Structure 1
């Protein structure tokens, strides 16, 4: 086996790719060999593979290699051969969804294309991608090169918009309480709670998938991959509830169906809070049906705001700032905050609530 070299700071695109691949190889190798079974994970980490190309990985490997593992140079060769197949697949997909043969696809066709290969095309993500490819303008159609750029962005950012990446990065840094650049199990739980997930949300299995060095912690890069997996699972989960509660024969949920869905998810929805959350998303018309992307954005925001009306949130935030004054409050301070809001709680009540 060839000896893996440590990556250096090189500037050309070709050398930058080699550095990135070297980093991935060094993280996943055992005895300076990368096993065949780790290739999907390696390509994910390197920003090469999403749902639409995963089925190419093992046929590509089997065509070019006869052993079950690769040294570093062989891994580079594999990525080169995989890239050729991947670009061919992209061209075939583009041609398939270019219905009129014009050499261009519109944003709706892009969403259909992504959906056909297992990528959930949330409307706000597709819009963000199209705006970015169009240098800030909402272009009406995409050519093959622009489509390839869309896939490249999707892969590099793990399917998140640029704003979502910024928000998640800021959340990572805010929850990294010891400042060591990694999140432990407890800090990950706080991240998910900040995003509105239930304290009972189980993430051990996803953590095991994304904790590549088996340290029980996540680096910032691993954290983005972890959040991608969390979102993929949550989208599939919410989609099932969406389908169950879409009962009126129209594609989408009415306000009443949305309320029933929230109750099925374990929430006790306040109608005023629901209306205010929809208004924040420019979805104030309650006589229309909401598509899945709109419902997803609503649930994300509704959870982050704990299902509270705006005035209740403002009152709670003001009370917290008055008594705590920093992002982390002790249990006795939390008891004072709650009492200032009119709740009759003891220290032990606050302690139990803080532990949830």
Structure 2
């Protein structure tokens, strides 16, 4: 249409100002007539307005899956008179909104821009930014979590093929018009939104296949018990507590069946938290904020290793760095909370794999552990387990006599938290080490007043094989270390 109008205006390859104004007028008239044609096409009952079902047809023509929530959100944006239907002038508004947002909500556009900005660079002589061609794959892959990367790789490859095809078409058009190619252009945010929409629709198609795979009755409805299996097909090891938390935060009642739209909403919510419950996410964010001492919203690999240890996980720096590099697709030396959450997902799955191996080695044929062998099994996970800890670790378990894998994970998590609390309380020393300190302390606390003088400290430290050679060593050791370990015993 553009070529047709310009050819009528001039035989040259450029337009002067007057010709440009006439072009704008003619194209605006064409566009309005086209919008009216589309409006009449979808106004099936010729009422002069579009209802919900008719708006669904419009969205399908935009290649947007017309979920109920999406349709309601679209109507809410443009329905000025609150009739629940869309009249022609409101329809024009709707088209304008969707041209700019590709059907994403305001919150989604904000999240997408954060991903775009992370990989984009400034364009010379402009305030705009664009993602260089070399970073397009990483930018698009960043839209997926670590568990859905296998799906993401396939979808991103399909999109990159389309992008390359578009570039070749542009190059061919330039060659026909004998224009100079100029420098290679990157992807601006508007184009990034277009391809993000393509990815979203491809992702929904993939979700449909997973949904149909566990829809054993072919009714278009899933029982909640099938949700774990569906999430497993997508790439997540979904445990009962996380699924229950997901259903609760999406306000799905226990007896509700799950249709495809509800399923997509559940999966997208689950992916946003990388499969963690609200409790876990809150805990991770609290720790992240504590170690982000500068308040920059980012941490480095050293902080990540320290954070994992603070959460009770024994990890070496090189392992922490491996996780760090796996999720930091832009190659930066620092990461934000979103990347840290993805890192925790990778670490969690490694832990779950180890737990599964231990569980499988020790479970009965019914795939359950009996309580009387629980201490032996937990000792394989952590040698610091004691009998008096086990009863506390069983809190929240449905049936302590027969423990399935989901319960076993919960018991193991409870054990980690209990040991972690004890270790923090005891300044990182084990129960056996604290007992050794207690015995040594009692030996020199001859009057039983739970206090030691400075003269009594050197032989005590000698018994503990702690060699403090200088006065500075003694001063730095006494207050911050022993006072914490002895937990209430003071040195005078």
Please, what TM-score do these two structures have when normalized by structure 1?
0.74
Deviation at 1:314, TM superposition (A): 11
Query: 1:116 aligns to what?
Result: 233
Equivalent residues in 2 for 1:184-333, closer than 5 Å: 184-200=300-316, 202-246=319-363, 248-278=364-394, 280-283=395-398, 285-288=399-402, 290-306=403-419, 332-333=479-480
The answer for the alignment partner of 1:335 in structure 2 is 482
Describe how 1:46-85 pairs up with structure 2 within 5 A.
Answer: 50=148, 53-54=151-152, 56-61=154-159, 63-66=161-164, 71-72=187-188, 73-85=190-202
Deviation at 1:206, TM superposition (A): 0.5
Paired residue secondary structure (1:239)? helix
Aligned partner of residue 219 in structure 2, secondary structure: coil
Question: What does the per-residue CA deviation read over 1:262-284, in whole Å, with 9 as the maximum and x for residues that have no partner?
Answer: 32234232122012111x2245x
What's the CA shift for 1:224? 1.6
Query: How far apart, CA to CA, are the structure 2 residues paired with 1:263 and 1:97?
Result: 37
* 1:10-159 paired onto structure 2 within 5 Å: 13-29=104-120, 32-35=132-135, 37-38=137-138, 41-44=141-144, 50=148, 53-54=151-152, 56-61=154-159, 63-66=161-164, 71-72=187-188, 73-134=190-251, 137-159=253-275
Report the Cα offset of residue 293 of structure 1. 1.6
- Encode CA deviations 1:56-93: one digit per residue, 9 max, x unaligned: 32452255233799623543332222222221222232
- Residue of structure 1 in register with 2:125 after alignment: none
CA RMSD, aligned part only?
3.4
Residue 4 of structure 1: aligned partner = none
Distance 2:346 2:424 in 1: 32
Q: What CA distance in whole angstroms lies between the structure 1 residues aligned with 2:355 and 2:482?
A: 34
* Other-structure match for 2:286: 170
Residues 200/263 of structure 1: CA separation in 2 closer, same or farther (3 Å cut): farther
Return closer, same or farther for 1:34/1:74 CA change in 2, 3 Å cut-off: farther
Higher relative contact order (CA 8 A, sep 6+): 1
SS of the aligned residue for 1:119 comes to coil
Residue 110 of structure 1, CA deviation: 0.9
Q: Displacement, 1:291?
A: 1.7
Residues 70, 339 of structure 1: CA spacing in aligned structure 2 closer, same or farther, 3 A cutoff?
Answer: same
For residue 65 of structure 1, give the secondary structure of its aligned residue in structure 2.
helix
Alpha-carbon distance, 1:239 to partner: 1.8
- Matched with 2:276 is 160
Partner Cα distance (1:144, 1:32) in 2 = 37
Deviation, 1:112, is 1.4
Q: Distance in 1 between matches of 2:387 and 2:140?
A: 44
Task: Supply the distance in 1 between the matched residues of 2:110 and 2:214 (Cα, whole angstroms).
Answer: 35
- TM-superposed deviation, 1:115: 1.8
Query: More deviation in 102-111 or 22-31?
Result: 22-31
Task: Provide the rounded CA distance (Å) in 2 between the counterparts of 1:134 and 1:77.
Answer: 31
Which residues of structure 1 form unaligned runs of 5+?
A: 1-9, 318-329, 347-356
Q: Distance in 2 between matches of 1:161 and 1:194?
A: 19
- Give SS of 1:306's match: helix
Q: Shift of the alpha carbon at 1:126?
A: 0.9
The 3 A distance-change label for structure 1 pair 245 and 209 is: same
Greater Rg by CA = 2
Report the secondary structure of 2:486's partner residue: helix
Tell me by how many angstroms 1:125 deviates.
0.8
Alpha carbons 1:184, 1:218 under 8 Å: kept: yes
